[in-house]
Amino acid sequence: MRMVDLIIKKRQGHELTDEEIRFWIKGYVDGEIPDYQSSAMQMAIVFQGMNNREIATLTDAMLHSGEVLNLSNIKGVKVDKHSTGGVGDKTSLVLGPMVAACGATLAKMSGRGLGHTGGTLDKLESIPGVTIAISGERFVNQVNDIGCAIVGQTGSLVPADKKMYALRDVTGTVESIPLIASSVMSKKLASGSDVILLDVTVGEGAFMKNVAQARQLAHIMVDIGRRLGRDARAVLSNMSEPLGLAVGNSLEVKEAIAALQGHGPEDLMELCYITGSIMLEQAKVFSSREKARIALEDAVKSGAAFDKFVKMVKAQGGDIEYILHPEKFEMAKEIIPIYADATGYIKSLDALTIGVSSMKLGGGRETLDDVIDMSAGIVLNKKVGDQVKEGDLLATLYTNKPKDIYEPIALDVLHTFQITSEYVEHQKVILEVIE
């Protein structure tokens, strides 16, 4: 079998056999197939696509290219949630403790932020003392004791994905649904959870810009889970505007704390209640989503969900005084209010502009080597559908950057609030559920 023949076969639009796909992935990880041939294959897939059987086989070959975690020492059904990324997405920080308080077990490996999308690990690390690098034994013990842990992915998981993604990023092959689906699902499946809830974000602040693309990706990932013996389900969530009000690491942690205490923004809470209900049903903790939602709401009202978050932070070395007293978080030196220049309703609020603006203020990274300012970011005061008067506070910028940097960013933020005299409805956060 020769790699060049497989490249030509896929370039001509033919299906690859399971044996051919496994030959490619094993040879590439072992160093027998060079970067340029793997890159050529990925470009052929961009143009010709793959069917569901090919995608599932590719995912399986990738997930078995390295270590596959065995979480059998963790009690109960292990649940996991994955978001395809967005702006202001602090869902895992809220959802994990909520489902754990209701009897599920969340053993989650998360990622870092890049560009305009935030990373759960960066948000956690904005809490002084928190570590996301813990041993396998400590990870298992924490989940068994508390019911939840959120840690970084070990280097030995899915080496094929690391190599392939590095190529995709520099060869214009990132935007391929088969390659995206296999990348996401190989990591989730290798992480060892029993059931997976996929939050496929859609809109300007997401990787998928339209519902049709997002729906296709969600269906494929759910199908991969089914073919490989896991209960995977998905929701399509709105990322045309940021999720919640806070964008930026410690700012989002403070919003997550407020949410767990029952004071979270409506869209964030609704996303957590809907996705949490599905996860609890998947884990067979509750027989219906209606019962699961009641339990989630009770966990927030009673303080049980907040208590889980405090215990998780403490177990991972964090100073819980910051959780009990969020005012202890360091505040940025420059605080810049943005005021409305017209009266009416917020018609649109571009999540991409807000995410990029937060990054430029210091709240994100353009390259993996960039150092994040944990105090930087943006807190919104108005969202789509809200009524405003000229002079009302729209948002507040937080930064340690000099004036010549933050002034043009402030103008960008002001201009992304589109105000109209006509009535505008508030946006739905969940667009579809796919299972």
Active site residue 183: yes
| Cβ-Cβ contacts under 8 Å for 152 (sequence gap 6 or more) | 109, 110, 111, 121, 132, 133
Q: What is the DSSP string of 169-189?
A: HHHT----HHHHHHHHHHHHH
Catalytic residue among 183, 250, 277, 375: 183
Q: Which of 90, 108, 163, 187 is catalytic?
A: 187
Q: How many CA atoms lie within 13 A of 341 on its CB side?
A: 8
- Is the dihedral angle over the CA atoms 287, 288, 293, 298 positive or is it negative? negative
Q: Give the whole-angstrom CA distance, residue 298 versus residue 338.
A: 37
Distance CA 220, CA 85 (A): 17
Contact, 390 vs 340, CB < 8 A? yes
Catalytic residue among 60, 161, 267, 350: 161
Whether 161 is a known active-site residue: answer: yes
Where does 316-350 have alpha helices with state H?
A: 321-324
Residues 10, 78, 81, 82: which is the catalytic one?
Answer: 82
- What is the strand order of the sheet 393-399 is part of? 246-247, 377-380, 393-399, 334-339
81 counts as catalytic:
no
User: For residue 81, how many other CB atoms are within 10 A of its CB?
Assistant: 25
Tell me the three state secondary structure of residue 307: helix
325 is catalytic: no
Q: Give catalytic residue positions.
A: 82, 161, 168, 183, 187
